Amino acid sequence: MPQLPLTDESFREVASRYATGVVVVTTTADGFDHAMTATSFATVSLDPMLALVCVEQETRFHDALCGSGGPDSGGNTWGVSVLTEQAVPAASWFATKGRPLHGQFDRFPHYRGPQTGTILLEDSIATMELRTTGLIPSGDHTIALGEVLSLSVSEELVQRTPAEDSGWPLTYWARRYRNLSR
């Protein structure tokens, strides 16, 4: 396997070869709902239940979720919607920088989570609501660590196994949205 130079482009190329799931992360700050598409989401621990998301520091979503109070300014709540393969329009929209803040959820069915009131997308395989327990600045991103407050899974998927024909997750690989069913 040929070695690549240690450049931003080489790093992006190698990192793009790791297939990941796609989620939309949501939060509310200063009376406005915010969202971003993420592939850098992971569960961390069962006891206590923890998950994390990495957020680019130079975005308005970062300001909404992480604030400007430094690494100990946690306490915000956020939601995670695990997207289905049909949710490419939502993934693309919430990945668009500079989209209007007002009305950004209008074209996607959604509801408010029971624990936090954070928006969750209906076109999801599963959702969770979290409370930030830690913020770790890391390079040009911040790792937001959160305690899980609620969990849900699509009702139509409860009795099915992932091997059946519907309920496939949206994935991201080689800089494109993909799915596991094909």
DSSP for 138-166?
Answer: ETTEEEEEEEEEEEEE-HHHHTS-TTSSS
The mean pLDDT value for 174-181 works out to 82
Kindly report the pTM of this predicted structure: 0.89
What pLDDT, on a 0 to 100 scale, did the predictor assign at position 49?
97
Write out pLDDT tens, residues 70-127: 444 445 899 999 999 999 999 999 999 999 989 999 999 999 999 999 999 998 999 9
Which domain CATH number covers 60? 2.30.110.10
Domain assignment of residue 127, given as a range = 20-157
- Assigned token pair, 44: 């961390």
Cross-strand pairs, 37: 24
- The answer as to whether 1 is a domain residue is no
Going along 87-123, which residue ranges are E strands?
Answer: 110-112, 119-121
Range with lowest mean pLDDT among 19-28, 29-38, 61-70, 91-100: 61-70
What pLDDT, on a 0 to 100 scale, did the predictor assign at position 157?
62
Q: How many domains does the chain have?
A: 1
Task: Decide: 156 and 167 in contact? Cβ < 8 Å.
Answer: yes
